[in-house]
Structure 1
Amino acid sequence: MCTASARPGRNLLHVPDVGAERVFIIITTFDRASYLQQLLHSIALLDPRPDGVVVVDNASTDETPEILAAAELPFPLVVERLPQNIGGSGGFAAGMVRALAEGARWLWLMDDDVVALPDALASFQPWMRRYSCIHGRRYDAAGEPFFWQHLLNDTLGVHLPVRGDVFVDSPVFHTNVGCFEGMLVSADVVREIGLPDARFFLNGDDTTYGWLISQRYPVAYVDSFVLRKTRAQRQIDLGVRHLNDSSDLSRFCGMRNRGHLAHYLQLHDRFSRVGFGLGTALSAGKEIVRLIAVERSLSGLGALWRGWRAARIILHDPTWRPEPPLTESSGAAGASR
């Protein structure tokens, strides 16, 4: 990851070589064979086509290996089966290393519980001439627009939703966070910023990665639908925020990873101890509301408490270091951390 505390050239427009797009799709999957099969089928129908697909199998125990072995795509399929589950962040890091080795110029990251819309890459192409980190819109499992329009508040260390229609005056919204459920990023930016921090495992890894990119280049959210979620989730609309159901693992990681986020904010001189403490309280409060309003249970409080304690240990760890810059020799090591 970028280790500089200053922000030289922040938000400079980065224009990749659009004459050689070479888009590779990177999918991280774990024990969701049926969802993965739907996703692979949708990718086969993309027009224009990607140049290849890298699927990172996080040591799945279901039929995922058989699904991948039987897959027939009109472009190369590369399978990286890991010996153990290293989470979404580790899986995407491993997939990005492999895609770069395959000559990718663009990396389109996505979870396994979505399908790609047939004209997705065509929708991206006009924006690839202006931006090097792009997010398209998504539908939820019911076919309704999925809510995702956030900005990270540096003082609180919390991504806050932007109310209203962010596309009412422009087809592009500049954000400062990322989402691995659809992020399209140029290979040049990945080499400069580095790989996602595998220590996050899940929850907050993409937010932080997008924030790190935004310290140097614009991160665009564009008014073009490119994905549809296939996994239905319980959710509520609170007016100022949408909340989906979650899991104890996600709750634990979300709280724990605030320790890692705090260190990255410190590296960029954006850390406020008081503000970040308030942000941690707000994060815990949001999860409690999620438990009560969405999941109608308080059984996840223990995971929140354990995550908070783990975050404090990380925050006060004098040996903590950011993920190293991406190099030929360190890429694979960073991905398997």
Structure 2
Amino acid sequence: MVGDGDGRRIVAVVVTFNRLALLERLVARLHEEPLLAEVVVVDNASTDGTGAWLAARAAQEPDGPVLVPVQLDRNRGGAGGFHEGLRVAVERGADLVWLMDDDGLPDAGCLGALLLHDFDFWGPVVVDEADAARLVFPIRLPGGTRVVHDMRDVRAAATGGVIRDVVIPFNGVLVTRALVERIGLPREEFFIWGDDHEYRLRAERAGGRVATVVDTAVRHPSVGDLGTPMMFGRTTYNHSPSDLKHYCMARNNLLNLRDYRGWPHALAFVAKTVWFYTFTRRDPARLRLSLEAMRAGLRGDFTGHERFLR
């Protein structure tokens, strides 16, 4: 049986939507990983030929990990995709599941480097594919408020090649079957933005051992500078020009703050949103959309984002 030195069955889960060229690149890289038993690809009802390509690729005689396509009948977002993919992987006997989006590319040997460490939920650094010295998703170092963007700072903060209690979820992260059985699957109703963070928070609450391994990486397209300065530079706000992303962020972030940090933090996020779209970047329509999303989340209504789907 394909697996690591402990005989654990390892299955990769990839979620994709209308990015066939990136998916082809990623599947080719995963095909080179000798420790993988299977690659489960969850297709969120793509319209760019992804389904046909997956079917043809899966029909080929495997000389590496077996490709397992999972076709969804509608776009369920990253949250729904990882919910379904993780469920399928565990049902297919995975002891470890390697989770990633279609636009990341793990370094050659990334999986082996991760397996040198023993945690419950752990992954590589996520660096800009155009500048490997810079993180795509900044890391807040444990025990304080310092946020780092540069790999020199990341390496300086590591102990034994690891930063504990920090991970960028669903970008090349490993999760154990035991942890999945303990905490369940990602919240599919979140659709995008915040589902990965909620899963990490749930893992931590359950006592899961979380870490980032700093000597291996997933290379990811730049997403720009996360965090627009506000309140005279004292803090930042994750503004997105996309109404879909913002709606989900406002709804899901409020719920994560309420559920894991308490109402004071949740209300502070509401105030921060009001300030940002009133003073920092005045936009009454975006403010109304933010408050609508927050109210929907508090009512348990997770359908409002659907009007932005195409």
Question: Does TM-score exceed 0.5, indicating one fold?
Answer: yes
TM-score bucket (shorter structure) = 0.7 to 0.9
Tell me which of the two structures has the higher relative contact order, counting C-alpha pairs closer than 8 angstroms and 6 or more residues apart: 1
Q: State whether structure 2 residue 206 is matched by structure 1 residue 219.
A: no
Equivalent residue, structure 2, for 1:133: 121
3-state SS, counterpart of residue 113 of structure 1: coil
Q: Distance in 2 between matches of 1:184 and 1:64?
A: 25
What whole-Å deviation, never above 9, does each CA across 1:90-132 have from its counterpart, x for those lacking one? 11010011101111011111111111211111111111xx211
2:195 counterpart (189, 205, 208): 205
Equivalent residue, structure 1, for 2:295: 312
Q: State whether structure 2 residue 19 is matched by structure 1 residue 32.
A: yes
2:42 counterpart (34, 56, 62): 56
Stretches of structure 1 lacking an aligned partner (at least 5 in a row): 1-16, 154-158, 293-297, 321-337
Give TM-score scaled by structure 1 length: 0.73
Give TM-score scaled by structure 2 length: 0.78
Equivalent residue, structure 1, for 2:147: 162
Change (3 A) 1:161 1:101: farther
Equivalent residue, structure 2, for 1:324: none
Identity %: 29
Stretches of structure 2 lacking an aligned partner (at least 5 in a row): 303-310
Q: Distance in 2 between matches of 1:243 and 1:314?
A: 18
Change (3 A) 1:151 1:76: same
Is the CA contact (8 Å cut-off) linking 1:167 and 1:223 kept in structure 2? Answer: yes
Change (3 A) 1:70 1:183: same
Which segment drifts farther, 240-249 or 92-101? 240-249
- Specify which structure has the higher proportion of strand: 2
Aligned pairs for 1:1-337 (under 5 A) are 19-46=6-33, 48-71=34-57, 74-127=64-117, 130-144=118-132, 145-146=134-135, 147-150=137-140, 162-163=147-148, 165-169=153-157, 170=159, 171-175=161-165, 178-215=168-205, 216-229=207-220, 231-235=221-225, 247-262=242-257, 264-265=259-260, 270-271=261-262, 273-282=263-272, 302-303=285-286, 305-315=288-298
What whole-Å deviation, never above 9, does each CA across 1:28-55 have from its counterpart, x for those lacking one? 1111111111111111222x33111100
Q: Size of the alignment, in residue pairs?
A: 282
Change (3 A) 1:246 1:219: farther
Change (3 A) 1:98 1:79: same
